């Protein structure tokens, strides 16, 4: 049987919106199918990887209990690779090995704890220094045409994945709100839902806030993602909408966004405020600039057996060099 490439699959929301006329019963069945597709198993235990955060935090997860509802999306027979020849990280790792501290500090717990996390209705309020502030609901967000972008995600903890995202450039949304000439940075905020997010009882400076300089935010590589592997995002990956900034450490790519503000001053980020001085604003990947507690020279590419060298700017230096006057300046890597 010929298998279908994920890129040939219609994104779920497009598929679903085409069927808005379905009867209530049929809709319920479709919903049940979506839930059944939500799984969480990672193949193989992680090695002795560091864990981002304060030195007192819980250690990294070491075991991955199987989940009975894990369903692999169909892929073609030949392994899919990124432009550098790295094989796409198996779906089960992408949905089963997650950093989402609002749910848990343990990567293998996030999928289970976030199961059923309510992401509809949802709004993203976009304001601050803009001429046309707007609140986008799910229908508005789904009106942006999505494309598949395969990019590498390099976590500051020295592991990485190659992920086929579905999304659209953040610049398209920002253009709609028309940033004023005073706007220099973009500040993003994750939802804060104490009833649904057990990790919020951890002593961190919630909500999770991230930021980009406006030109970084407008760069074509910077995505708002709504899906991966041809499917809508699962809660553990930041449903219904998250940021993807491939040349920066993964902590910049915040999940489940509810607020975006254009601001004049560099925003104080979650990790700058709560990371014990170990995480700065720029966080551009550089194998030569070590984290205070570990080297960034190599990384464990999930799905591969051995560590691989970390690439400068995560392999995107050519594309993003235009953003930084002098890529050699140490300033950009903290």
- Residues that bind ligand MTE in the complex, under the rule CB under 6 A: 52, 98-102, 155, 190, 208, 237-238, 250-251, 253-255
- Least distance (Å) from ligand MTE to the CB of residue 208? 4
Structure tokens at 157: 């903890």
Pairing of strands 307-309, 223-228: unpaired
Is the CB of 4 or the CB of 58 nearer to ligand MTE? 58
Q: What is the DSSP letter of 44?
A: S
Q: What is the DSSP letter of 320?
A: H
- Least distance (Å) from ligand MTE to the CB of residue 303? 13
- Least distance (Å) from ligand MTE to the CB of residue 283? 10
Q: Tell me how far CA of residue 75 lies from CA of 16, 189, 234, in angstroms.
A: 21, 34, 18
Is the CB of 129 or the CB of 166 nearer to ligand MTE? 166
- Least distance (Å) from ligand MTE to the CB of residue 305? 20
Q: Which residue is nearest to ligand MTE (CB)?
A: 250
Is the CB of 30 or the CB of 37 nearer to ligand MTE? 37
Helix (H, G, I), strand (E, B) or coil at 172: helix
Is the CB of 46 or the CB of 238 nearer to ligand MTE? 238
What span, in angstroms and rounded, lies between the C-alpha atoms of 62 and 47? Answer: 8
- Least distance (Å) from ligand MTE to the CB of residue 97? 7
Q: Which of 252, 257, 230 is nearest to 241 (CA)?
A: 257
Q: Which residue is listed with tokens 């864990």?
A: 51
Q: Are 125 and 259 in contact (CB under 8 A)?
A: yes
Beta bridge partners of 291: 294
Is the CB of 75 or the CB of 151 nearer to ligand MTE? 151
Is the CB of 141 or the CB of 161 nearer to ligand MTE? 161
76 Cβ neighbours under 8 A, 6+ residues apart? 3, 4, 5
Q: Are 211 and 186 in contact (CB under 8 A)?
A: yes
Beta bridge partners of 150: 164
Is the CB of 251 or the CB of 333 nearer to ligand MTE? 251
Q: Tell me how far CA of residue 95 lies from CA of 167, 277, 318, in angstroms.
A: 17, 30, 30
């Amino acid at each position: 049987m010929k298998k279908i490439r994920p890129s040939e699959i219609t994104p779920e929301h497009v598929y679903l919106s085409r069927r808005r006329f379905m009867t209530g019963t049929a809709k319920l069945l479709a919903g049940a199918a979506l839930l059944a597709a939500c799984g969480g198993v990672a193949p193989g235990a992680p090695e002795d990887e560091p864990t981002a955060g304060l030195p007192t935090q819980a250690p990294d997860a070491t075991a991955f209990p199987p989940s009975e509802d894990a369903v692999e999306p169909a892929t073609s027979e030949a392994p899919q690779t990124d432009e550098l020849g790295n094989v796409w990280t198996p779906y089960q790792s992408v949905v089963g090995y997650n950093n989402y501290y609002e749910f848990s500090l343990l990567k293998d717990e996030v999928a289970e704890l976030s199961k059923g996390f309510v992401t509809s209705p949802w709004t993203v309020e976009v304001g601050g220094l803009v001429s046309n502030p707007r609140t986008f609901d799910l229908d508005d967000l789904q009106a942006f045409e999505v494309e598949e972008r395969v990019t590498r995600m390099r976590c500051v903890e020295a592991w990485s994945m190659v992920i086929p995202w579905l999304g659209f450039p953040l610049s398209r949304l920002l253009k709609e709100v028309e940033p004023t000439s005073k706007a220099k940075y973009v500040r993003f905020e994750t939802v804060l839902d104490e009833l649904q997010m057990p990790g919020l009882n951890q002593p961190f400076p919630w909500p999770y806030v991230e930021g980009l300089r406006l030109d970084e935010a407008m760069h074509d590589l910077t995505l708002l993602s709504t899906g991966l592997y041809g499917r809508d995002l699962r809660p553990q990956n930041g449903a219904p909408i998250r940021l993807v900034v491939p040349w920066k450490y993964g902590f910049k790519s915040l999940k489940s966004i509810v607020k975006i503000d254009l601001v004049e001053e560099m925003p104080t980020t979650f990790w700058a405020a709560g990371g014990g001085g170990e995480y700065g604003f720029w966080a551009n990947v550089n194998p030569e600039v070590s984290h205070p507690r570990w080297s960034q020279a190599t990384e464990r590419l999930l799905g591969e057996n051995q560590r691989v060298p970390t690439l400068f700017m995560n392999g995107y230096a050519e594309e993003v060099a235009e953003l930084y006057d002098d890529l050699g300046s140490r300033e950009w890597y903290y």
